[in-house]
Amino acid sequence: MVKTDLHTHTVYSDGKDAPEQMVLSAINKGVKVYGISDHSYTPFDTSYCMTPDRYAEYFSVLTELKEKYKDKIDLRRGIELDYYSCKPDITFDYIIGSVHYVKAGSEYIPVDFSPDALTAGVDRYFGGDIYAFIEEYYRTEADVVGKTGCDIIGHFDLVTKFNERGDLFDESDPRYINAYRAAADRLIKTGKPFEINFGAIPRGCRTTPYPSAEILAYLKSKKAPLVLSSDGHKKEDICFGFDSPVI
């Protein structure tokens, strides 16, 4: 199997290292196909993403690195496109489609910023019904391929980021199971691969990857295509978790 990692971030969005540092680390780790996929612009939250005026520079830098290291690695120029982003004018080599927000009226509730931000949004816009929030998240997730035209489905159950111990909701609740299965069934029909995403582990947010073991088993039972992703935000995290026994 060709060693591949297509979900990583650099200083162009919320990563810690420059693109060339990431490429050199990937080469040193024996990666054969490597992708950088910085975050697309979300105008209502600019804390973590590129602005559109940097897209051309970002693409140009990656193109230069692709040529410079072409004898050592196959560098792919990607972007992680949020559901509520506008599609860039630039044609990237691939798109990771992700849902980082649940929209309620004109407000965008962040799914993965903090437990407090999530619960505050649930209380204010969903009457404290966490499962109503989750159902809206998975309704949005179900359309992520249609909306973004993505090649890879990013961290399918990101809504569980702060719930590894069951502090926010019960992942065995029928409303939760029905919501994720309905979304998964719709996405499976697209033929696009789901990530097994290890990004939250080195950042200390989780001890297990996305999706959960239960969801992963469901995806496997449906013969959904899967792809490993580190979601690395620094050079040391490239291919993190790829030797994990949970796969």
Domain boundaries, the chain: 4-237
Mean pLDDT score, 35-55? 96
d(CA 52, CA 40): 8
Residue 242 burial (CB < 10 Å; 0-12/13-18/19+)?
Answer: middle
Q: What is the average per-residue pLDDT within 52-67?
A: 97
Q: Give the model confidence (pLDDT) of 205-244 as tens digits.
A: 999 999 999 999 999 999 999 999 999 999 999 999 998 8
- 85's CB contacts (< 8 A; 6+ apart) are 40, 41, 42, 148
8 Å CB contact between 79 and 92 = yes
What is the average pLDDT across 190-198?
98
State which fold the 4-237 domain adopts.
Answer: TIM Barrel (3.20.20)
| 108 pLDDT tier (thresholds 50, 70, 90) | very high
pLDDT at residue 244, as a whole number: 80
Report the percentage of the chain scoring pLDDT > 90: 96
Residue ranges in the chain assigned as alpha helix (H): 19-28, 55-68, 115-125, 130-142, 144-148, 174-188, 213-221
Tally of CB atoms within 10 A around 14: 14
Task: State the Cα torsion 99-118-246-218 to the nearest 10°.
Answer: -60
Exposure b/e, 61-87, CB count within 10 A at least 16 = b: bbeebbeebeeebebbbbbbbbbbbee
